[in-house]
Chain A
């Protein structure tokens, strides 16, 4: 280890050469080319957006939030999830989970940075936001609280990571706990962004602010399996197996709770019979993305865990990759289903065809920026693994 600027321990061999000097296996080369392609797409997408503005997106007056909002949520949920998993060891003192803390906290930083990179090109005036968030704060707005708290959260996560790198566990614990609390508050406010919408009956209420915390934890565990799978190339020693088995058991419980949450949400929505809620759910359950969410994010990983109560960590890595695909659909569905019902202002013949449901499909620009966010996330994480020692310190 060498000591870098600001007393940050950096790996001795960290250099451009170490970044590009990865083992040239077919999988590694495929991943490297994919990440590069995604970063190029990010550049093309951003350039198109800066040239044409929101016209480059598939969003409309009736469906103002599109894929980029869903992808932003995907990343910040991932960040909160990583933060929760990281806190198990270094904040709550579960020894079994300590070995993933540093890696998870670093993951929480790169995922939220990627989320910010994506949302910067969805918000029309991000610089104005920074100025007027401070000068004229809208304290009744869940977006204000969410954005402000996430800014604070990122700061705490960076400080916690700094202390983790320096093996100052006492200070890491203080900042970790503060960061976790702020992150959970920020995240439930993100759910509140939807929960406060009394114009959108399907999302209105307490469900999303609580559900977001639950699904963040689930997402964090999926991501932990993925990063540990790559770290150990699926050859886990006993200590890692013990960690992953513990995580898998927690995941089983969390997915079971999620099934319970979702079942009751759907049952009360459908059989409650409330207009703009029951009909939206009827519509939703007949769409492919809904079943992608249920099968990929919940069912497949749950069955893998049930198979032997979490004792197949290698299989769980693959189930977690499938789980993350499902989590993406979970976020997309949340955003789309909130807006899918027309507001029924009788704008029937002149302004819009009589739409039963509002259609939306992301534009190429939105898809490119979203994939770019993923590329950015993987690239930042990879560089981090080269620069920092993310394994448990002894």
Chain B
């Protein structure tokens, strides 16, 4: 029993997109731009050439925020979306009726329709692949060349992520919505 979360040192991201490829490969995510569990967002730099604000053009890797109070879980009419034993938000394809309510309720655009099962799919922190095999990292973390991502147990005070969150300032996306995300962006 753990409480998994992820810290992202997003300013290290170089937009190589190796994490996206690793995620698709490891978890058998469908091909196609619409079918993605994780993504690297990017801002165009502010300002007019040549006075561009380079710092504003940071890359922002993201995915399901694994909210503690997930709106997608609350709105699911059949409990297809649930918290597993490690507080990871998962989808039970057997119960999913594809009403798409969770897609509308998720503030993070983290869900999509898997056309093979015609059910909702999303990031699982590699729970049914790498973690099930006993590994301790997610595919996106494992492949990242600049070590943007740190995955681990938030309840373990000795974990690397706990250490990072103790020692570095961080923020969460759309925290004002009260979703209590377990993805933390390090500043």
A residues neighboring B (CB under 8 Å): 53-55, 59-62, 64-65, 123-126, 128-129, 132-133, 136-138, 140-144, 147, 193, 196-200, 338-339, 343, 345-351, 354
Given contacts A143-B99, A347-B41, contact A197 B105 (CB under 8 A): yes
**Smallest distance from the beta carbon of B108 to chain A beta carbons, Å?**
6
Closest residue of chain B to A198, judged by CB? B177
Q: Is the beta-carbon distance between A199 and B104 smaller than 8 angstroms?
A: yes
Q: A345-B110, A346-B60 are in contact. List 6 more A-B contacts (CB 8 A).
A: A129-B77, A129-B99, A137-B78, A339-B104, A345-B173, A349-B42
Instruction: Write out the residue numbers on chain A whose beta carbons fall within 8 Å of the beta carbon of B105.
Output: 196-197, 199
Q: Is the beta-carbon distance between A141 and B103 smaller than 8 angstroms?
A: no
In the assembled complex, B33 has its CB within 8 A of some CB on chain A:
yes
In the assembled complex, B115 has its CB within 8 A of some CB on chain A:
yes
From A54, A132, A339, A343, contact of B80 by CB (8 A) = A132
Instruction: Write out the residue numbers on chain B whose beta carbons fall within 8 Å of the beta carbon of A61.
Output: 34, 103, 109, 111-113
Closest residue of chain A to B78, judged by CB? A132
Instruction: Write out the residue numbers on chain A whose beta carbons fall within 8 Å of the beta carbon of B118.
Output: 53-54, 124-125
Closest residue of chain A to B59, judged by CB? A346
Q: Is the beta-carbon distance between A128 and B97 smaller than 8 angstroms?
A: yes
Binds A, one of B68-76, B146-154, B155-163: B68-76
The docked-state distance in angstroms from the alpha carbon of A112 to that of B177 is 35
Given contacts A136-B78, A140-B75, contact A64 B42 (CB under 8 A): no
Instruction: Write out the residue numbers on chain A whose beta carbons fall within 8 Å of the beta carbon of B103.
Output: 61, 64
Q: Is the beta-carbon distance between B78 and A138 smaller than 8 angstroms?
A: yes
Given contacts A129-B99, A133-B77, A136-B95, contact A343 B109 (CB under 8 A): yes
Q: Is the beta-carbon distance between B43 and A198 smaller than 8 angstroms?
A: no
List B91-138 residues whose CB lies under 8 Å from chain A.
94-101, 103-113, 115, 118-119
Instruction: Write out the residue numbers on chain B whose beta carbons fall within 8 Å of the beta carbon of A351.
Output: 33-34, 36, 39
The docked-state distance in angstroms from the alpha carbon of A172 to that of B8 is 63
Q: Is the beta-carbon distance between B109 and A345 smaller than 8 angstroms?
A: yes
Chain B interface bracket (under 10, 10 to 19, 20 to 34, 35 or more): 35 or more
Instruction: Write out the residue numbers on chain A whose beta carbons fall within 8 Å of the beta carbon of B104.
Output: 64-65, 197, 199-200, 338-339
Q: What are 26 A-B interface contacts by the 8 Å CB criterion?
A: A54-B113, A61-B34, A62-B109, A64-B103, A65-B104, A124-B99, A124-B113, A125-B96, A128-B96, A136-B78, A138-B78, A141-B101, A143-B101, A144-B77, A147-B77, A196-B105, A199-B104, A199-B177, A338-B104, A345-B39, A345-B41, A345-B108, A347-B109, A349-B42, A349-B44, A350-B33
Instruction: Write out the residue numbers on chain A whose beta carbons fall within 8 Å of the beta carbon of B119.
Output: 124-125
Q: Which residue among B76, B100, B177 has the maximum number of chain A CB atoms within 10 Å of its CB? A: B100
The docked-state distance in angstroms from the alpha carbon of A126 to that of B77 is 12
Instruction: Write out the residue numbers on chain B whose beta carbons fall within 8 Å of the beta carbon of A133.
Output: 77-78
Instruction: Write out the residue numbers on chain B whose beta carbons fall within 8 Å of the beta carbon of A62.
Output: 109
Closest residue of chain B to A335, judged by CB? B104
Q: Is the beta-carbon distance between A346 and B42 smaller than 8 angstroms?
A: yes
Please report the number of residue pairs spanning A and B whose Cβ atoms sit closer than 8 angstroms: 134
Closest residue of chain B to A141, judged by CB? B77
What does DSSP make chain B's interface, helix, strand, loop or mixed?
loop
Closest residue of chain A to B40, judged by CB? A350
Q: Is the beta-carbon distance between A132 and B109 smaller than 8 angstroms?
A: no
Closest residue of chain A to B107, judged by CB? A199
The docked-state distance in angstroms from the alpha carbon of A59 to that of B118 is 14
From A123, A137, A140, A343, contact of B107 by CB (8 A) = A343
Instruction: Write out the residue numbers on chain A whose beta carbons fall within 8 Å of the beta carbon of B71.
Output: 196-199
**Smallest distance from the beta carbon of B180 to chain A beta carbons, Å?**
13
Closest residue of chain A to B179, judged by CB? A198
Q: Is the beta-carbon distance between A64 and B78 smaller than 8 angstroms?
A: no
**Smallest distance from the beta carbon of A383 to chain B beta carbons, Å?**
31
Closest residue of chain B to A352, judged by CB? B33
In the assembled complex, B62 has its CB within 8 A of some CB on chain A:
yes
Interface string of B31-59 (1 = CB under 8 A from A): 00110100111111000000000000000
Q: Is the beta-carbon distance between B97 and A129 smaller than 8 angstroms?
A: yes
From A65, A123, A199, A346, contact of B62 by CB (8 A) = A346
The docked-state distance in angstroms from the alpha carbon of A60 to that of B42 is 21
The docked-state distance in angstroms from the alpha carbon of A198 to that of B101 is 12
Q: Is the beta-carbon distance between B75 and A141 smaller than 8 angstroms?
A: yes
Q: Is the beta-carbon distance between A53 and B39 smaller than 8 angstroms?
A: no
Instruction: Write out the residue numbers on chain A whose beta carbons fall within 8 Å of the beta carbon of B98.
Output: 54, 123-125
Q: Is the beta-carbon distance between B95 and A128 smaller than 8 angstroms?
A: yes
Instruction: Write out the residue numbers on chain A whose beta carbons fall within 8 Å of the beta carbon of B97.
Output: 123-126, 128-129, 132
Instruction: Write out the residue numbers on chain A whose beta carbons fall within 8 Å of the beta carbon of B177.
Output: 198-199
Given contacts A123-B99, A136-B95, A349-B42, contact A55 B74 (CB under 8 A): no
**Smallest distance from the beta carbon of A318 to chain B beta carbons, Å?**
37
**Smallest distance from the beta carbon of A67 to chain B beta carbons, Å?**
14
Q: Which 7 A-B pairs have the closest CB atoms?
A: A124-B98, A346-B41, A199-B107, A132-B78, A144-B77, A64-B100, A129-B97
